[in-house]
Amino acid sequence: MASSQGKRLSFRQGLRDGLPIGLGYFPVSFGFGILALSRGVPALGAFLISSLNLTSAGQVAGLSFITAAGALTALALSQLIINLRYSLMGISLSQRLSPRFTLPHRLLASAFITDEIFAVASSRREPLEPAYWYGLSCPSYLGWVSGTLAGALAGDLLPASLTGALGIAIYGMFLAMLLPPARENRAVLFCILCAAALSCLFTYLPALSFFSSGSGVIVCAVIAAAAAALLFPLGKAEGEQEADRA
């Protein structure tokens, strides 16, 4: 009885912690729903994409590949590069799980790892319980899925000028994620500027026109990340960051 009550309390605590995440996901996924509709994806298709995935950057990149009829190998490679960080987050969280987190629970929980959920779960001092994790994940997942569906359905009703403006809202989220660390870390800033410059080259240079848009994104990401790693090793980047703060 006490165990059942403890699970309910843990689940409720997870719901309270996950509610702000879900509310934040709704407007972002609303923009994804409109973006999907503008690319020719029906509302049901957009809903299924968000229902089976929980990765904003991965979904936007995947949407570009799908609507451009890109190669499946390039699609898979782009998703691997974009979402590789979730594997590292999962490894980190695995050290904080309670003994009640059995293998089936771990496999199910891994589908709901996002940057925000990881940050909230990592801040807890107590071991992570399955009940808490599911409570934390539910509003986040529902906020993402319901926002996508609302955006896809609203796209047919709203004026074209408004849907066009809302369709770029998700890119605003990416800027909000990139700018704060770029201001504090020179390595991040260099990586962003390098990737942007390479993207312009792949877009406007005729010699590079044989690359598809999706393949170009992968090449730019790999080159920019490799250059940042070579020029700003981890110890050096951390030292510069501490010097800037001082």
User: How far apart are the C-alpha atoms of 96 and 114, rounded to whole Å?
Assistant: 16
User: How far apart are the C-alpha atoms of 21 and 143, rounded to whole Å?
Assistant: 8
> pLDDT, tens digit, for every residue of 209-220?
766 655 677 788
* Neighbour-count burial for 226-244, b at 16+ CB within 10 Å, e otherwise: ebbeeebeeeebeeebeee
User: How far apart are the C-alpha atoms of 155 and 161, rounded to whole Å?
Assistant: 11
pLDDT at 155 over 80: no
For position 143, what pLDDT does the model report?
92
* Assigned token pair, 29: 């996924």
* Assigned token pair, 237: 């980047």
The answer to whether residues 58 and 79 touch, using CB atoms and an 8 Å cutoff, is yes
The mean-pLDDT minimum among 53-62, 119-128, 233-242 falls in 233-242
69 Rama sector, left if φ>0, alpha if ψ -120 to 50, beta otherwise:
left
Residue 190, exposed/middle/buried by CB under 10 A (0-12, 13-18, 19+)? middle
* Assigned token pair, 13: 């605590």
For position 212, what pLDDT does the model report?
62
Cα–Cα–Cα angle for 110, 170, 68, rounded to 5 degrees:
85
* Assigned token pair, 190: 């260099």
The answer to whether residues 232 and 192 touch, using CB atoms and an 8 Å cutoff, is no
* Assigned token pair, 225: 């990340």
Longest CA span, the chain? 70
Q: Collapse the DSSP code of 128 into the 3-class scheme (helix H, G, I; strand E, B; otherwise coil) and give the result.
A: strand
Q: At what angle do helices 186-204 and 213-231 cross, to 10 degrees?
A: 150
* Assigned token pair, 12: 């409720």
For position 16, what pLDDT does the model report?
92
Percent of the chain with pLDDT over 70: 81
Cα–Cα–Cα angle for 130, 134, 135, rounded to 5 degrees:
115
> pLDDT, tens digit, for every residue of 161-211?
666 666 566 666 667 667 777 788 888 888 888 888 888 888 788 877 766
